Amino acid sequence: MKIRLLPVFLLICIGWVFCQRNPLIGQENAVRSEPDPKLASLVTELDQYVAKAQREWQVPGLAIAVVKDDQILLSKGYGVRRVGTNDAVDQKTLFAIASNSKAFTAAALGILVDEGKLSWDDHVTKHLPWFRLKDDVATREIRVRDLLCHRSGLGTFSGDLLWWGTEYSAKEVLERAAFIEPASSFRSAYGYSNLMFLAAGEVITAVSGQSWSSFVKERILQPLEMNRTICSVRDLVVQDNFATPHTTSKDSSSPIAWMNWDTMAAAGGIISNSDDMSNWMRLQLRIGETKDKKRIFSESASHQMWQAHTPIPVGRVPTARFPSTHFRAYGLGWSLSDYQGRKVVGHGGGYDGMNSHVLMVPEEKIGVVVLTNSLTPIASMLAYRAVDTLLGTTGRDFSQESLTEFKKSLDEFQARITKVTTPVVEGTKPGHPLADYAGKFRCPMYGDATVTVEGDKLVLSFAPFKALVAELTHLHYDTFSIRWRKTDIAWFGSGTVHFVADSRGRFQKIELDVPNDDLWFHEIKLARRAD
């Protein structure tokens, strides 16, 4: 079975352009100064390292862009867009950047703040009167900046099943979020929330009168000449040269279909390439100015986005891996930390079958983006290697270190699934006829689900995501194991469904246990409908 990597890898989170024939000849992007021989040597070294890592990790394809001192040192593709083909990745190949979209949403709000159309400290309900969280204090006090720095009180990834694959609009997702139990009190702890960025996108629409995608295209993408960057999977139909997502196992990758992330576009919907993303990083490092001195957002907005708003604990594992890191925090749409004595600004992005990483060192004017069509930590590892190469601080082999750990994590993930799906007692039979388990169930947060009998099996279907259908095989007592009919799922594999009976033996509730680190099935609390 093919499963995704653990998300911890997402948080650990070079001057001429390389063409395929000669890595020291610019193709699309021109260098505006004479080559520095030492820098050219470092670029060559990094190019070779990336190519070697791509082969060792068996990642189908990736692209990297590196900028320094407002020059593009490298923008190049490696490998193929889809395993089993010869379609090469290049600097124009499109990949999902996923959560690296969050910085675009923060920048869009910064533009509106600059124009005086809102304040970072506006109450969210001033612009979205219908917005509610289960915590009344959070509902009353949450401000625009709180949407962008993961301190709403919701737990990390809480509620993500509401947008993943469903037909709910962003507003409908947020209305249902009012049923989610908070993990902490408001502003007391870090909890990574995609849902709050959906709310940020709705604020942009309410204030500007434009959709999130229209605003981002008009006010950011077009001025930066990010001409191939799009904001929806639907736009791929008029594009060529785009990568295919893949699920990942120890020694192979399998292509899967693109998932539509339109509902959560403000949190992760942008699709881009290494050339376009180099323009984005250069804007950031210029503190909001384009190459022709046109200001996209103010220095004040940049300062807000790169300021620590929410502290993130630095645990023993990150400390051991990055001994020079003493703090971690979240700004507005950006992750912040120190590395090799310098402040670094970055973000990871995980999409169904793709992964990306942006890493910038503002005081050195360095920016790196890595885009991949697999769910492995290679993107963040190559980003750190590129920074090390340009800083000349270490020859550390991030790739080899992480490859061993990644393979171990796959084994550990499979062990979690095996533990859940192994019967506690062999040879039991269902305690009731299968028809007794069937019925209509409802979760106030997620929506409706139905259990039917098909032949000698039970089948669980979810109304919000019609393709998410599970065939249930008896495991022990009133617990059944899951086999998903949808076979190209990147985030999770099997799990269990447990039916809970009342004192009269009628099954009234369903409990789901689907081990994974991103989509919380335990938040789906299904109870039998009265109708």
pLDDT band of residue 71 (cuts 50, 70, 90) is very high
Kindly state whether residues 390 and 452 are assigned to the same domain.
no
Kindly state whether residues 394 and 454 are assigned to the same domain.
no
Our count of domains for the chain comes to 2
Which pLDDT score, from 0 to 100, does residue 17 have?
A: 26
4 pLDDT higher than 90:
no
Kindly state whether residues 394 and 447 are assigned to the same domain.
no
pLDDT tens, position by position, 419-439: 999 999 998 999 999 999 999
Q: How confident is the model over 370-384, as a mean pLDDT? A: 96
Q: How far apart are CA 382 and CA 369, in angstroms?
A: 9
pLDDT band of residue 151 (cuts 50, 70, 90) is very high
24 pLDDT higher than 80:
no
Q: How far apart are CA 206 and CA 229, in angstroms?
A: 24
pLDDT band of residue 327 (cuts 50, 70, 90) is very high
Kindly state whether residues 362 and 270 are assigned to the same domain.
yes
379 pLDDT higher than 50:
yes
Residues facing 264 on adjacent strands:
none
Q: Which residue has the higher pLDDT, 499 or 251?
A: 499
Which pLDDT score, from 0 to 100, does residue 476 have?
A: 96
Kindly state whether residues 480 and 510 are assigned to the same domain.
yes
pLDDT band of residue 35 (cuts 50, 70, 90) is low
Kindly state whether residues 341 and 370 are assigned to the same domain.
yes
Kindly state whether residues 357 and 408 are assigned to the same domain.
yes
Domain of 108 in residue numbering reads as 8-114+192-414
CATH code, 309: 3.40.710.10
Kindly state whether residues 277 and 381 are assigned to the same domain.
yes
Which pLDDT score, from 0 to 100, does residue 498 have?
A: 98
30 pLDDT higher than 60:
no
39 pLDDT higher than 60:
yes
Which pLDDT score, from 0 to 100, does residue 208 have?
A: 98
| 125, 130, 136, 139 alpha-carbon torsion, rounded to 10° | -30
pLDDT tens, position by position, 167-189: 999 999 999 999 999 999 999 99
Kindly state whether residues 363 and 506 are assigned to the same domain.
no
Looking at the domain assignment, is residue 120 inside a domain? no
454 pLDDT higher than 60:
yes
Least confident range from 3-12, 263-272, 401-410, 455-464: namely: 3-12
pLDDT band of residue 3 (cuts 50, 70, 90) is very low
Kindly state whether residues 107 and 218 are assigned to the same domain.
yes
Q: Which residues of 435-450 are buried (b: 16+ CB within 10 A; e: fewer)?
A: ebbbbebbbebbbebe
Q: How far apart are CA 468 and CA 259, in angstroms?
A: 13
Q: How confident is the model over 124-136, as a mean pLDDT? A: 98
Which pLDDT score, from 0 to 100, does residue 393 have?
A: 86
Which pLDDT score, from 0 to 100, does residue 6 have?
A: 39
Kindly state whether residues 473 and 402 are assigned to the same domain.
no
470 pLDDT higher than 80:
yes
Looking at the domain assignment, is residue 75 inside a domain? yes
One DSSP character per residue, 328-375 reads EEE-SS-EEEEETTEEEEEEEEEETTEEEEEEEEGGGTEEEEEEESSS
Which pLDDT score, from 0 to 100, does residue 316 have?
A: 85
Which pLDDT score, from 0 to 100, does residue 31 have?
A: 34
Looking at the domain assignment, is residue 170 inside a domain? no
Looking at the domain assignment, is residue 130 inside a domain? no
20 pLDDT higher than 60:
no
Strands across the sheet with 61-68, in order? 71-79, 61-68, 366-372, 354-361, 342-351, 335-339, 328-330, 310-311
Which pLDDT score, from 0 to 100, does residue 403 have?
A: 93
Q: How far apart are CA 133 and CA 141, in angstroms?
A: 11
Looking at the domain assignment, is residue 146 inside a domain? no
Which pLDDT score, from 0 to 100, does residue 320 have?
A: 83
Q: What percent of the chain has pLDDT over 70?
A: 93
Looking at the domain assignment, is residue 100 inside a domain? yes
Which pLDDT score, from 0 to 100, does residue 301 have?
A: 98
In the block, which residue shows the tokens 């030492």? 38
Q: How far apart are CA 297 and CA 109, in angstroms?
A: 9
Cα 527–173–245 angle (5° rounding)? 105
15 pLDDT higher than 60:
no
CATH code, 507: 2.40.128.600
Kindly state whether residues 221 and 266 are assigned to the same domain.
yes
Q: How far apart are CA 527 and CA 426, in angstroms?
A: 28
Looking at the domain assignment, is residue 162 inside a domain? no
Residue 513: what are its φ and ψ, rounded to 5°? -130, 100
Q: Which residue has the higher pLDDT, 30 or 387?
A: 387
217 pLDDT higher than 60:
yes
Sign of the torsion formed by the C-alpha atoms of 91, 97, 100 and 106: positive
Looking at the domain assignment, is residue 148 inside a domain? no
